[in-house]
Amino acid sequence: MNRTDRLYALVEHLRACAPSRVSARALAARFEVSLRTIERDIAALQQGGVPIYADVGRSGGYTLDKSRTLPPLNFTPAEAVAVAISLGRAEGSPFSRSARTALQKIVAAMSAADGASARELAGRIRLLAPLDAGEPASVPAVLEEAMSARRVVRLAYADADGVETERDVEPVAFTGGTRAWYLIGWCRLRGDARVFRIDRVRRAVLLEETAPERRFEDLAENPPDAIVRALEFV
């Protein structure tokens, strides 16, 4: 069994045993590897966002939080690759870091055979990008948290001329595409709605204050050369 297959099998075994804990020694024996290898595998899964927890002591071991994982899914290999293609184009977009861990969880929840077929099919997909296209500016994690938790955020923001100002902003929405992303919010410095280009945000600090609820439709109109549409979740 190669390491990728072992990681997927390890997740499924822990899910099947949860909430009981499984010792590293038992896992090493089951997968016929060393204790050090199991510890490295567990660390890799944890870093990938899989909710595996460890307890020390004689009755300790590893367990998986089943409430935060998916049961075996009926994703076909083609469906899983379709999700991967969409997520592969999400670099620099809001929550792109979460997109990577989401994909890992989807594949880990598939059967071993379907997971292997999905990886083989994914190996035959190539994404093109313009030669002069630099890496898109990633949305800072603090802005993602401000949007998720609806918290006021303090920005140090540079305008098109490089003039920097500090302002408290109530986040309302992210908007953008493949080349640039923007934060739409209520700017308390200007007392009005403003659009902030993400790559011009120099610093961002999350404040303790909860932002008042504001609707995107009340703040912004569609630009003349584009249509702003909501993300379709289902």
Domain, as residue range, for 19:
3-68
| Residues 29 and 47 reside in one and the same domain | yes
Q: How far apart are the first and last CA of the chain?
A: 36
In a domain? residue 228: no
| Residues 113 and 172 reside in one and the same domain | no
| Residues 170 and 118 reside in one and the same domain | no
| Residues 89 and 58 reside in one and the same domain | no
What pLDDT shows up at residue 36?
92
Write the single-letter amino acid at 63.
Answer: T
| Residues 64 and 118 reside in one and the same domain | no
In a domain? residue 224: no
| Residues 64 and 83 reside in one and the same domain | no
What pLDDT shows up at residue 69?
63
Of 182 and 127, which is predicted with more confidence?
Answer: 182
* Helices first, then strands: H and E counts in the chain: 8, 7
In a domain? residue 168: yes
| Residues 146 and 198 reside in one and the same domain | yes
CB burial of residue 179 (10 Å; 0-12, 13-18, 19+): exposed
| Residues 145 and 214 reside in one and the same domain | yes
Can you say whether residue 57 is alpha, beta or left, with left for phi > 0 and alpha for psi between -120 and 50 degrees?
left
In a domain? residue 166: yes
In a domain? residue 169: yes
**pLDDT of 30-58, one tens digit each?**
999 999 999 999 998 888 788 898 887 66
Lowest-confidence segment of 65-74, 99-108, 135-144, 186-195 by average pLDDT: 65-74
Asked if 70 and 49 touch (Cβ cutoff 8 Å), the reply is no
| Residues 116 and 152 reside in one and the same domain | no
Lowest-confidence segment of 118-132, 158-172, 195-209 by average pLDDT: 118-132
Domain edge (last residue) among 51, 68, 85: 68
Give the CA angle between residues 122, 92, 109 to the nearest 5°: 40
Q: Looking at beta carbons, which pairs linking 157-165 to residues 24 or more positions away fall under 8 Å?
A: 157/196, 157/200, 157/201, 157/202, 158/200, 158/202, 159/200, 160/200, 164/202, 165/189
| Residues 62 and 84 reside in one and the same domain | no
In a domain? residue 128: no
Asked if 26 and 61 touch (Cβ cutoff 8 Å), the reply is yes
Structural domain count of the chain = 3
What is the bridge-based pairing of β-strands 61-64 and 151-158? unpaired
In a domain? residue 181: yes
Highest mean pLDDT among 83-97, 102-116, 166-180: 166-180
In a domain? residue 213: yes
CATH classification at residue 19:
1.10.10.10
| Residues 188 and 149 reside in one and the same domain | yes
Residue 5 clears pLDDT 80, i.e. is over it: no
